[in-house]
Amino acid sequence: MTTRTPGELVAVTYLAAARRAVGANRRQAARAAGLPAHVLYRLERGSSGLDLHTATRLLRAYGITSVQDIEAVTRLLRTPDPAEGMQRDSGPGSRERLAACEKASHTVRWWTAFWIPDLLQTPEYAKAAVRRVLLDSAPGPVPLGLRSLSRRGPRITLLVDEFVLKRPIGGPGVMAGQLAHLQRLVESGAATVRVVPVDCGIPPPGPHFAELHLHRTLVYVDESLGVHYATEPPDRSRHRAHLDVLEAAAASPQESYDWIGRARAALGHRQS
């Protein structure tokens, strides 16, 4: 395995998702990009690095040809500034790249104080949530093909602030539908949802961040202002420490399921 920056992990994962989206296997994709098949295999398996030239050829082979889209991806391959601590993904497609990383992860653990994560949203909630002002580069809802979950998807744990369940994004009807969707995800085993009570005594560490176990690497994602990525050793990760504290303070899965049901019923009363 080659050591990769957070940006390179994101770019490689997104390129693999783009290949699958056009229905090409690795041999077909490599031929379309003018690359030896073993180069693409090693790249997606993590045993070789991704350079700007190869990334551009693959993007064009997958039908991603606009200058802005290509620049947004190749920018991820530049060496991050150590002083910044995290690597920012900005510009067109940043939400799609994040969704690709979430779906490709072995596990995903989210904390949210403001909104339900993209991968768990209903279409109606997504349309309303995209208008949130905290994200300065969200171009629109994540395509449904990326948002949908399958049984072979990541193991998901959502740590959600109590107030998120009460905030009727899109109106009571839309929010009630979103909460019903969360309950179905829990019932199907696609996600574990834990509600963090307001009175737990822990100040929110931030509005929205996640821990992804992606390609044998722990990647931390901060969506406070745009999308920022970092990789840190588990024993030195402030992000992991925050998530551990929140998970310890959260209600049990069954208590949380019942909590969502009560919030959904309260929204129903507001509609009547």
**Concatenated DSSP letters for 164-228?**
HHH--TT-HHHHHHHHHHHHHHHHHTSEEEEEE-GGGS---S-SEEEEEEETTEEEEEE-SSSEE
Residues near 48 by Cβ (< 8 Å), separated by ≥ 6? 2, 39, 42
Nearest to 257 by CA among 193, 214, 211: 193
**Dist. CA 126–CA 138, nearest whole Å:** 11
pLDDT tens, position by position, 248-266: 999 999 999 999 999 999 9
Nearest to 53 by CA among 36, 70, 67: 70
DSSP for 107-136, please give it.
EEEEEESSS--GGG--HHHHHHHTT-SS-S
Per-residue pLDDT of the chain (272 residues; tens, 9 = 90+): 567 889 999 999 999 999 999 999 999 999 999 999 999 999 998 888 899 999 999 999 999 999 999 999 999 988 776 656 688 897 788 989 999 999 999 999 999 999 999 889 999 999 888 765 444 444 444 444 445 555 567 899 999 999 999 999 999 999 999 999 999 999 999 999 999 999 988 888 888 899 999 988 899 999 877 789 988 766 567 888 889 999 999 999 999 999 999 999 999 877 65
Specify which residues 230 forms β-bridges with. 220
Domains of the chain: 1-79 (1.10.260.40), 83-271 (3.30.870)
pLDDT tens, position by position, 26-68: 999 999 999 999 999 999 988 888 999 999 999 999 999 999 9
> Which single residue is written with the structure tokens 């399958």?
150
Q: Taking the complete model, does pTM exceed 0.95, yes or no? A: no
Helix (H, G, I), strand (E, B) or coil at 231: strand
